[in-house]
A and B are shown apart, each in its own frame.
Chain A
Amino acid sequence: MKRLFVRPELCTGCKTCELACAVEHSQSKNLLGAMLELPPPHSRLYVEAAITSPFEILKMPMTCRHCDPAPCIAACIPQAMHRTPDDVVTNVGGKHECIACGMCVMMCPFGMIARAPAVDGLKATGGLKATGSLKATGSRVMALKCDLCPDRDVPACVAACPTGAIVFAEGDQFAHQSRVRASFVLSQARAVREATMVQAQEE
């Protein structure tokens, strides 16, 4: 199955992925509409900053790994969190409904699950910020996490990333790309080494 992989060296920290994710998980599925919605749509991935020195801030988009076995599934008492036949870990469409207990939030080693107001797809339609209160929309707090965008071929974050820092690929496909890049560096290094040896022999 295809997964989200990250090339952190390409992340500029622009957070376009966060925005695209929130819009994809909104009701209107466009930026302007999403900005007016209640409850406000929530991104399911997060660009984090690691301050490594006063002069360097490393940026990294953090995404759900859809682990197997997944601690969030193991911890889910109502069995809302489950693995789909497509190998996606999600709490939508499980055996029972999510009860927002937060067990999965506690168990996720990557902090990829939020507990926030959401439109409960079966019961409410949501509303506009301008016209309604959050309560009136019938929304409730739920566990929100990456679902790999079931309505799309390529997840919204991947499509939105301007530098290609987030990659949607099979694991071996991504690893192969990494190997090719590494071998390119190594082959360049080998050329330098050979030139140095020739030079040393001449001297």
Chain B
Amino acid sequence: MERSISPDSVMLLKTAQAAGVTTAWDRYETQLPQCGFGETGLCCRHCLQGPCRIDPFEVTGPKNGICGASADVMVARGLARSVAGGTASHSAHAKHLAHTLLKFSRGEATDYGIKDQAKFYAVLDRVGIARNGKSDQELAGELAQLALDEFSEREETPVWLKTTVTPGRMTKFEELGLIPPGLDSAVAEVMHRTTNGVDADAVNILLGAIKCAIGDYTGMYLATDLSDILFGTPTPVMASANLGTLKENAVNIAVHGHNPVLSEIIVAEAMGMEQEAQAAGASEGINLVGICCTGHEVMMRHGIPTATNSLSQELAIVTGALDAAVVDYQCIMPSLPDVAARYHTAIITTMPIAKITGATHVQFEEHNAGEKAREILRLAIEAFKKRDPTRVNIPPVTNDALAGLSAEAIVNVLALVNPDDPLKPLIDNIVNGNILGVCLFAGCNDVKVTQDKTFVELVKALAAENVLILCTGCAAGSFARHGLLTPAATQKYAGDGLKAVLTALGQAAGLDGPLPLALHTGSCVDNTRAAGIAVALANKLGVDISQLPVVATAPEAAMEKAVSIGTWAVAMGLPTHVGVVPPVTGSPVVVEVLTKAAKDLLGGYFIVEPDPQAAVAKMVAALKERRKGLGI
């Protein structure tokens, strides 16, 4: 199997091999064959009597775990814990932002402020905090406290849930008992009900997992709101992509992970340290690039290039030109210091809960953010001095990428066509068939499938079918690296109807061409931006999300976070495609519920299909079924 179709990855994988550097792809091969009990979800380690396994072939092996759990129960428990893992990750990120806002309000984080007052006030209005002449600082404190309260056990419905979904969804969630009892409580509840001797009904466990995933949605929505308030709501910005964005004559620093709280300050402080970098011999000063979703945060707010995705993060070091990787949390490979040891790259961890043996740790806190950012930048400049110029091997590959199409930015573009009723042009074009429907591309790269191949094949085929494409996180990174976030890609790959719409919008926005083939809606912790657009459309039409011709796909999903996002996408009513088979095939009941019964219950359901062409056919059929339901 090819490892990647991304030209920079392909080139650097050869370099890595020649240099004897081990990457995730090599480590995957050493894991083969992978254990079939894990692959099918038929392995349980939830108590000390285990590990238990159930024979998927039902020939001679056991049919139940020691406690008596059936295959269905075992698989459902494992999946629910995955959702809890994903939710815990997104919620931790959200709480971090709430704490930053709280510290700002107390005057303890002077490097931060309210960057987008309009969004600040809009969020306050939405969550029901009256302004009453209070100062922004005071209001920030109230908002931060309300946000933090969302995570604790309570009787009320979380505010960021009830104020952001359609009335139809809320009714559905209430009927099915799917309102999370606080966002951290939702995680704790899953851990409780999946421990030995609690929930032993697969369907009930899955409902628990869905409840937790709705908590994931709520925390994510909250996090995006607070990010925009603190750092600004993204607006369209032209940036670039690929590992060719590293510069031979600059101190190259990658910000990597998922958290804008640190990277924003790094961006701000880097400007003041250009001279120090030049004095160290870097004629082009400091060159910041992004990896993973921290990269997308700074790309969509500052036009910082996106160098690469999570799966190929090690290859950034293999260029020999990366002087420092500053990492926060999530999707950071523990192998980075091992790879860096072969080069001069400084790996700098910054979060108290995310250290890596062999890395340099600079603990980052909001009260001394600027000072710590400068310390980190100095470490990078010091590392630059140790760079071996003979080992520099930057792939000559860069692509333009238009980023920053947040929900607000998309509405602003639409408003240029119809200022009184911005959503009308979009709805009209869906109704008249110029646009068949909308697809949100999300999720990771996964070493089990050729990097970017499924992403690229799916997006080209769906765009040709006139499907409007939104993308986030590693999906957006993948498209950026293949030049698909450009007007030229629209000209080349969009169907006639979609091309006409994107061209009209592009002209209205003053672009010299259509909008890009895929609209970069945010980082992977911003999938709620896309949900926000779907909710606005549904409310405008007076229908529920589950009736809209909208689908989601995570063709190369890898992380627990993708499992929780996929699960809430289903809960929101979206047909949701996954291109990597999750560990559920050991249970006929779980497969049935996720792919079929969920449709009757929630409107959304999973489409598991590794083959890109078959996946396109299934997603197009789902969109057409929705259109038929709406009578269009």
Contacts and interface: CB of A to CB of B under 8 A. Distances in A.
B56 A163 contact: yes
Given A163-B60, A164-B59, A54 B36 contact: no
Nearest to B448: A54
A194 B56 CA distance: 32
A54 B1 contact: yes
Query: Is the contact region of chain B dominated by helix, strand, or loop, or is it mixed?
Result: loop
A140 interface: no
B260 to A, nearest CB: 36
A164 B38 CA distance: 17
Interface stretch (A45-53, A100-108, A113-121): A45-53
A15 B38 CA distance: 12
A182 interface: no
Nearest to A13: B33
Given A13-B34, A162-B62, A163-B60, A54 B449 contact: yes
Contact of B36 (A11, A48, A51, A164): A11
A59 B31 CA distance: 12
A47 to B, nearest CB: 6
A79 interface: no
Contact of B53 (A13, A49, A51, A162): A162
Interface residue range, chain B: 20 to 34
Contacts of A49: 32-33
B60 A164 contact: yes
Nearest to B610: A55
A174 to B, nearest CB: 15
Interface residue range, chain A: 10 to 19
A162 B450 contact: no
Nearest to B35: A14
Contacts of A15: 33, 35
Contact of A163 (B34, B39, B61, B449): B61
Interface in B5-43: 32-40
B59 A12 contact: no
Nearest to B609: A55
A54 B610 contact: yes
Interface string B577-612: 000000000000000000000000000000000110
B611 A55 contact: yes
Contacts of B55: 162-164
Ranked nearest first, the 4 interchain pairs of A and B with the lowest CB-CB distance are A12-B36, A13-B33, A164-B60, A49-B33
30 contacts: A9-B57, A10-B57, A10-B59, A12-B35, A12-B36, A12-B37, A12-B56, A13-B34, A13-B35, A13-B39, A14-B35, A14-B36, A14-B38, A14-B53, A49-B32, A51-B32, A54-B1, A55-B610, A57-B33, A57-B34, A162-B37, A162-B61, A162-B62, A163-B55, A163-B57, A163-B60, A164-B55, A164-B59, A164-B60, A164-B61
